[in-house]
Amino acid sequence: DKEPVKVLVTGAAGQIGYALVPMIARGMMLGPNQPVILHMLDIEPGLEALKGVKMELIDGVVATTDVVEACKDVNIAVMLGGSPRKEGMERKDVMSKNVSIYKAQASALEEHAASDCKVLVVANPANTNALILKEFAPSIPEKNITCLTRLDHNRALGQISEKLNVHVSDVKNVIIWGNHSSTQYPDVNHATVTTSNGHKPVRELVADDNWLNSEFITTVQQRGGAIIKARKLSSALSAASAACDHIHDWVLGTPKGTWVSMGVYCDGSYGIQSGLIYSFPVTCDKGEWNIVQGLKIDELSREKLDKTAQELIEEKTLAYSCL
């Protein structure tokens, strides 16, 4: 029998948590044959709701407001907990709250998690929260700290599949570059669709360059906002599902010839300043991601890659000023 994997979910009493926890319990994150022990963390105001979630699940679940207990020996950590921007709040106030949360949780993971713990930060500002976590958990390998842009990636695949009226699983290799924010760059220049005549470039099949260069990009960039408008709440199901996809592919590998987007610690690839958590196209094998190298970047893309990097540099400066 396989050793159980301990999965921490912070902010587990929230919206995404409520959707994500049963997905993990059912094996959608690590496969049906992998036993999992769930560690759910939330804060005092969320405690009653957290107990409720625990009651809905089977045994063998840790539900706590104690960060040390929550982080104990975890192999995977999905960070949903954070401080959202409320009306009238300054950017700096939101950043400052999240910096202190991620600094504290980094230290708890550093001390108590498994030494090879894989971390996925979902809570916004996701890239910068992940960067703070990385800084304050120096013994966790930097390749183990990532943030979620898979939701944006999946939305980009969805837009193409709708436009071409093909199944979403036939579309692959879109890229989300940069920040999980409205400056992200959803790039279709290398994306393909599987047809009865082999793989065809999306650019060839969608003859409408105008749509690809404008509406497609803004729709993906602003999808989160559109969902909030429609639901009066942010996307929870698709976010939970994307978090499962992210960990699943990271741990179990990406299919041959396919890449996915992940926010990862940047090593200077594609001329992006190192030391940022930036979303790149990656392939995964044996629990390790690698940035896909050598893709041709045209002029329009270059500008967009740099613009979203610039925003991350500014976020980083702001975050450091809160320390």
| Catalytic residue numbers, as ranges | 180
Helices (H), 15-149: 15-25, 47-56, 67-71, 91-112, 126-135
Q: Could you give the 3-state DSSP secondary structure of residue 148?
A: coil
Q: Is 11 in the site for ligand NAX (CB under 6 A)?
A: yes
Quick check: 43 binds ligand NAX (CB under 6 A)?
yes
For ligand NAX, the closer CB: 153 or 172: 153
Q: How far is the CB of 242 from ligand NAX (least distance, A)?
A: 7
Question: Is 122 among the residues that bind ligand NAX (CB under 6 A)?
Answer: yes
Closest C-alpha to 156, from 95, 238, 94: 238
Instruction: Tell me the window of 118-126, 170-178, 265-273, 305-313 that interacts with ligand NAX (CB under 6 A).
Output: 118-126
| Nearest residue to ligand NAX on Cβ basis | 14
For residue 57, how many C-alpha atoms fall within 13 Å in the half-sphere facing its CB?
28
- One-letter amino acid for residue 232 of the chain: K
Give 76 or 206: the residue with its C-beta nearer to ligand NAX.
76
Among positions 135-164, residues that touch ligand NAX (CB under 6 A) are: 148, 151
Q: SS3 for 71? A: helix
Contact pick of 29, 77, 101, 276 for ligand NAX (by CB under 6 A): 101
Q: Does 119 bind ligand NAX (CB under 6 A)?
A: no
Kindly state whether residue 178 participates in binding ligand NAX, applying the rule CB under 6 A.
Answer: no
Which x/- pattern over 200-239 shows residues binding ligand NAX (rule: CB under 6 A)?
Answer: ------------------------x---------xxx--x
Q: Are 228 and 234 in contact (CB under 8 A)?
A: yes
Q: 13 or 38: whose CB is closer to ligand NAX?
A: 13
Asked if residue 16 binds ligand NAX (CB under 6 A), the reply is yes
42 sits near ligand NAX (criterion: CB under 6 A): yes
User: Whose Cβ is closer to ligand NAX: residue 213's or residue 218's?
Assistant: 218
- Residues 147 and 179 sit within 8 Å (Cβ to Cβ): no
Q: What angle do CA 144, 6, 258 make, to 5 degrees?
A: 45
* Residue bearing tokens 């749509």: 211
Strand ranges inside the chain, DSSP E: 5-10, 36-41, 61-64, 76-79, 118-121, 145-147, 171-172, 175-177, 185-187, 192-195, 198-201, 260-265, 277-285, 288-291
Q: What's the rounded Cα separation, in Å, for the pair 68 and 73?
A: 10
- 80 is a site residue for ligand NAX (CB under 6 A): yes
Say whether residue 41 binds ligand NAX (CB under 6 A): yes
Q: How far is CA 131 from CA 18, 75, 178, 266, in A?
A: 26, 19, 13, 10
Query: What minimum distance in Å lies between the beta carbon of 194 and ligand NAX?
Result: 26
Which residues, including other chains, have CB under 8 Å from residue 3's CB and lie 6 or more apart?
A: 35
Residues 6+ apart with CB under 8 A from 257: 172
Number of residues forming the site for ligand NAX (CB under 6 A): 30
Which range of residues in 31-39, 41-49, 248-256, 287-295 is near ligand NAX by CB under 6 A?
41-49
Q: How far is the CB of 162 from ligand NAX (least distance, A)?
A: 20
Q: How far apart are CA 147 and CA 306, in angstroms?
A: 19
Restricted to residues 259-318, the positions that interact with ligand NAX (CB under 6 A) are none
- For ligand NAX, the binding residue among 4, 15, 23, 295 (CB under 6 A) is 15
Tell me the C-alpha distance between 122 and 242, whole Å. Answer: 10
Query: Which parts of this chain interact with ligand NAX (CB under 6 A)?
Result: 10-11, 13-17, 41-43, 45-46, 80-84, 101, 122-124, 126, 148, 151, 180, 224, 234-236, 239
